Amino acid sequence: MLQCIFLLSDSGEVMLEKQLTGHRVDRSICAWFWDQSLSQGDSFKLLDEMIDNGFPLTTEPSILREMIAPPNLVSKMLSVVTGNASNVSDTLPSGAGSCVPWRPTDPKYSSNEVYVDLVEEMDAIVNRDGELVKCEIYGEVQMNSQLTGFPDLTLSFANPSILEDMRFHPCVRFRPWESHQVLSFVPPDGEFKLMSYRVKKLKNTPVYVKPQITSDSGTCRVSVLVGIRSDPGKAIESITLSFQLPHCVSSADLSSNHGTVTILSNKTCTWTIGRIPKDKTPCLSGTLALETGLERLHVFPTFKLGFKIMGIALSGLRIEKLDLQTLPPRLYKGFRAQTRAGEFDVRL
């Protein structure tokens, strides 16, 4: 996220520093700006529209896209022919003068649809004794709004008290949330992130990892078990386990009774499990050969777990209802949820 902007002189002196607290801009919005405009030495057009006299001015993605076109071959040829090198639009975007600049003036759709996705990542740390040191969820409420006109929506949760560290899209009205924990907003058109949140101090994880490494006489024996700790009610998919072999390991011979094991040239080992079978517990085993002169392994790897669960939010957050104050005809509402592993580390 774009939170702070620094302008530096050729000598490295800071000429301008601006914190954009409350005016966050997704980096993906301006990917072309960073990847292409900066490389071409044309780095101030976007900044000129985002900042006015050092203060945030225009930070809404839809307006920025309309105001400044990404550089391409056609624009370069036109600048050579016409002598006009600017790719800034001559007309003001339709939403620039509106009280809701994130939404076009009057979008129209033949079918009115709105989709809400709860997308969560589980961050966890498990110590060498198998104890859960940290477990929390970072989640986002992502929406795709295809509604005609000027809709006014309210979204409520069944258990909003579990949420912490909330961050909202500028379209969210703060007073209804502070008083009744209800999200009241006029949505942008298309896909956007309505809010992000954290749910902390969770007591359990859906998958367990039990690694064991012993070493003696220059050889290490490795055994890793992976299984389901608590059934979330939905299938756990795309399970992977990866770890970095220590530099003192000269060679490795690892295999598994389920899935595939790959070891790259940079000594990264990845065990692709997929789904856990019902008839056996996936096990990775094998030996590691240490460099000459080393008897025991003194540096142990950290195992990183990956998984994905569709159809459930492991934080326990539940959407209660989505209401529209101005109902368009033939409205369709859809809700989905998914949880995947974020920074899930198992340490030895």
Residue 234, SS3 per DSSP: coil
Distances from the Cα of 146 to the Cαs of 64, 221, 274, in angstroms? 20, 56, 35
For 327, the token pair is 């109902």
**At a CB cut-off of 8 Å and minimum separation 6, what does 272 contact?**
240, 259, 260, 261, 262
Locus of tokens 């072309």: 32
Judge if 112-202+314-346 and 207-310 fold alike in CATH terms.
Answer: yes
For 51, the token pair is 């900042």
| Superfamily, domain 112-202+314-346 | Mu homology domain, subdomain B (2.60.40.1170)
Give the DSSP H or E segment for 63: helix 61-67
Per-domain residue ranges for the chain? 4-82, 112-202+314-346, 207-310
Please provide the size of the chain in residues. 348
User: Hey, which CATH number is domain 207-310, 3.40.50.300, 3.90.1490.10, 2.60.40.1170, 3.20.20.10?
Assistant: 2.60.40.1170
67-73 long-range contacts, CB within 8 A, separation 24+: 67/93, 67/96, 68/33, 70/32, 70/33, 70/36, 71/32, 71/36, 71/37, 71/40, 71/42
pLDDT in tens, the chain (348 residues): 455 666 666 666 655 555 544 444 454 445 545 554 545 545 466 667 677 776 766 766 667 766 766 656 655 565 556 655 555 655 666 655 567 778 877 788 888 999 999 999 999 999 988 899 999 999 999 999 999 888 999 999 999 999 999 999 989 999 999 999 999 999 988 889 999 999 999 999 999 999 999 988 889 999 999 999 988 989 999 999 999 999 999 999 999 999 999 999 899 999 999 999 999 999 999 999 998 888 888 889 999 999 999 999 999 999 999 988 776 667 889 999 999 999 999 998
> Which candidate, 237, 235, 204, places its Cα nearest to that of 137?
204
Given its phi and psi angles, is residue 250 left (phi above 0), alpha (psi -120 to 50 degrees) or beta? alpha
Residues 138-173: tens digit of each pLDDT:
999 999 999 988 899 999 999 999 999 999 998 999
